[in-house]
Amino acid sequence: MGKNSFPTSAQEAKQAVNPTAAPLQKPKDITEKDHIRGNKNAKVTLVEYSDFECPFCQRFHPVTQELLKTYGDKIRLVYRHFPLSFHANAQKEAEASECIAELGGNDAFWNYVDAIFERTTANGTGFALDKLGPLAAELGINQAEFQTCLDSNKYEQLVKDQIADGTTAGVSGTPSTFIINSKGESQLIVGAQPTETLKTAIDSSLK
């Protein structure tokens, strides 16, 4: 957990204090373009809308990792972007993750996600943008190619499209995680909920 894992706005404070679990419209269907961790054919899908500079997302990240270990092939995690406007670096960090995926594949993408959440102090500018290039190199990506990709803004619209898709599905803050069963029925878990809350929802979706 980052040392700055405290609410930075009334919106985030509300998420922390009043998390909800409610059946809402599900997000867009999973495609081959999505970033999937776990068994691609799993019975239950967790679609997480997240922000790389959100302290609650940082707090929630280890929960998703624990769930993947606990449920094994029964679940899969899909990461989608929802950078909040008041987190100054979040949009470019989201674009950077797509450049990492383009140049290094799915494993590199998830290694980037792990690294950002481990190292950022969150709340807006916790991981400096000028350190993204060296991080790419550390992850085995050609730094010059990465920087060219990032500077081109080629993934800016993709990130914005995911924000729009999430908003349409009922997302208003981060993290927001849809738990979708094999019938396509979904429920939305809002906020950095503890493992047991997610387990309850997953267990009901596995029935």
- Asked if the structure places residue 119 within a domain, the reply is yes
For residues 132 and 93, the answer to whether their CB atoms sit within 8 Å is yes
What pLDDT does 166 receive? 96
For residues 52 and 127, the answer to whether their CB atoms sit within 8 Å is yes
- Asked if the structure places residue 10 within a domain, the reply is no
**Which residue ranges of the chain lie beneath pLDDT 70?**
1-24
Domain count, the chain: 1
- Asked if the structure places residue 8 within a domain, the reply is no
CA 40/CA 131 separation, integer angstroms: 32
Which candidate, 121, 116, 56, places its Cα nearest to that of 92?
Answer: 116
What pLDDT does 124 receive? 87
What pLDDT does 173 receive? 94
What pLDDT does 24 receive? 55
Strands of the chain, DSSP E: 21-22, 35-38, 44-50, 75-81, 176-180, 186-190
What pLDDT does 22 receive? 46
CA 191/CA 174 separation, integer angstroms: 6
- Asked if the structure places residue 116 within a domain, the reply is yes
All residues at 6 or more sequence positions from 74 whose CB lies less than 8 Å from its CB, including other chains: 39, 42, 43, 44, 202, 206
Range of the domain at 104: 19-25+34-206
CA 67/CA 134 separation, integer angstroms: 30
- Asked if the structure places residue 5 within a domain, the reply is no
- Asked if the structure places residue 81 within a domain, the reply is yes
| pTM across the whole model | 0.88
Give the domain CATH number at 181: 3.40.30.10
pLDDT in tens, 97-152: 999 999 999 999 999 999 999 999 998 899 999 999 999 999 999 999 999 999 99
- Asked if the structure places residue 3 within a domain, the reply is no
- Asked if the structure places residue 144 within a domain, the reply is yes
